[in-house]
C-alpha cells in the first residue's frame, strides 16, 4: 500500500466536540443503532435499517466509491459518544470545483449544534482541502427542518428542481441550496476551529492535476 493511500484512509478533521473521519467497518453497530430510526431516514431512498448487515454493506461499498471519486462519506464521531451520523460529498465536479453535501444525524443529536459543527468541518474540508468554489445541498420541498438547518448556517436557497428525487415510486421536487467559497470565508462556519490529519483521496481534489 502506498504512503498516499495510507494517509487518505486516515483523513480526519477534528473540531471542538466532533470529528469527521473515514468510516471503518466497526462503525456498523453505531450507524445501525442511529439509522434504524424511521425519523432519521424518512427523507431518504433507503432505510430505516432493519439489520446491522445493511450498515456493514454500506460501509463495504465506501472504499471503492472513494477510489473512483464518486462519494466521500465520513462518519460524524462525537468525542464522548462515538459515531452519531454520516456526512458526505457527492456529485464531484472537479472542473467546476463544486460538490453536493448530504448528512444525517441520529435523532438524539438533532437541535444540539452537531449539524452546525459537522458542516463547519466539511466546509473546511471542501473549501480549503478540496479546493471547491461551491457546496450545494438538496432537500425535499416539504422537509422544512432541513431547509431551516441549511439557512441557519449560511446556505442560500436557489430554487426548486422538479421531479428530482425518486423515493419509492414517488417523484419528489427538491429545493437546491448552496454556499459559495466567498460567503463561507466571511461567514460564521469559518470560525469553527478544525485540525486536519491525513489527506483527502486524490480524485476529490479540484485543484490537483
Ligand atoms: C437534517 C439534519 C442534519 C439537521 O440537523 P438538526 O440538528 O436537526 O438541525 P438544527 O436543529 O441545527 O436546525 C433545524 C432548524 O429547523 C427548525 N425547525 C425544526 N423543525 C421545524 C419545523 N417543523 N418547522 C420549521 N422549522 C423547524 C429549528 O428550529 C432550527 O432552526 P433554527 O436554527 O433557526 O433554530 C437532521 O435533522 C437530520 O439528520 N435529519 C435526518 C436526516 C435528513 O433528513 N437529512 C437531510 C436530508 S435533505
Note the pLDDT tens digit of each residue in 13-70.
999 999 999 999 999 999 999 999 999 999 999 999 999 999 999 999 999 999 999 9
Residue 209: its pLDDT value, please? 58
Note the pLDDT tens digit of each residue in 134-193.
999 999 999 999 999 999 999 999 999 999 998 888 899 999 999 999 999 999 999 999
- Domain boundaries of the chain, sorted by first residue: 3-133+183-204
pLDDT band with cut points at 50, 70 and 90 for residue 9: confident
Check pocket membership of 34 for ligand 1, CB cut-off 6 A: no
Note the pLDDT tens digit of each residue in 60-75.
999 999 999 999 999 9
Omega of the bond leading into 28 within 30 degrees of 0 (cis)? no
Note the pLDDT tens digit of each residue in 62-115.
999 999 999 999 999 999 999 999 999 999 999 999 999 999 999 999 999 999
**198 CA → ligand 1 middle, Å:** 31
Check pocket membership of 87 for ligand 1, CB cut-off 6 A: no
Nearest protein Cα to ligand 1, atom 45: 104
Helix axes 52-67, 28-35, angle to 10 degrees: 120
Homologous superfamily (CATH) of 3-133+183-204 is: Gcn5-related N-acetyltransferase (GNAT) (3.40.630.30)
**What predicted TM-score, i.e. pTM, was given to this entire model?**
0.95
**23 CA → ligand 1 middle, Å:** 24
* Ligand 1 atom at minimal distance to the Cα of residue 140: 48
Distance separating alpha carbons of residues 199 and 187, to the nearest angstrom: 25
User: Under DSSP, is residue 83 helix (H, G, I), strand (E, B) or coil?
Assistant: strand
Nearest protein Cα to ligand 1, atom 43: 104
* Ligand 1 atom at minimal distance to the Cα of residue 174: 48
Concatenated DSSP letters of 152-203: HTT-EEEEEEEEEEEETTEEEEEEEEEEEHHHHHTSGGGGS--EEES---GG
Amino acid at each position: 500500500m502506498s504512503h498516499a493511500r495510507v494517509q487518505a484512509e486516515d483523513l480526519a478533521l477534528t473540531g471542538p466536540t466532533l470529528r469527521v473521519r473515514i468510516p471503518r467497518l466497526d462503525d456498523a453497530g453505531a450507524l445501525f443503532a442511529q439509522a434504524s430510526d424511521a425519523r432519521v431516514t424518512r427523507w431518504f431512498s433507503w432505510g430505516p435499517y432493519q439489520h446491522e448487515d445493511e450498515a456493514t454493506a454500506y460501509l463495504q461499498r465506501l472504499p471503492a466509491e472513494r477510489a473512483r471519486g464518486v462519494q466521500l462519506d465520513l462518519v460524524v464521531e462525537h468525542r464522548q459518544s462515538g459515531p452519531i451520523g454520516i456526512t458526505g460529498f457527492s456529485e464531484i465536479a472537479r472542473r467546476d470545483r463544486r460538490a453536493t453535501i448530504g448528512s444525517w444525524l441520529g435523532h438524539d443529536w438533532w437541535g444540539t449544534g452537531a449539524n452546525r459543527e459537522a458542516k463547519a468541518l466539511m466546509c473546511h474540508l471542501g473549501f480549503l482541502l478540496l479546493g471547491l468554489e461551491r457546496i450545494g445541498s438538496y432537500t425535499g420541498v416539504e422537509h422544512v427542518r432541513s431547509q431551516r438547518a441549511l439557512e441557519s448556517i449560511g446556505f442560500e436557497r436557489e430554487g426548486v428542481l422538479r421531479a428530482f428525487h425518486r423515493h419509492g415510486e414517488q417523484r419528489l421536487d427538491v429545493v437546491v441550496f448552496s454556499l459559495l467559497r466567498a460567503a463561507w470565508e466571511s461567514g460564521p462556519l469559518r470560525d469553527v476551529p478544525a485540525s486536519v490529519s491525513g489527506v483527502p483521496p486524490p480524485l476529490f481534489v479540484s485543484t490537483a492535476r
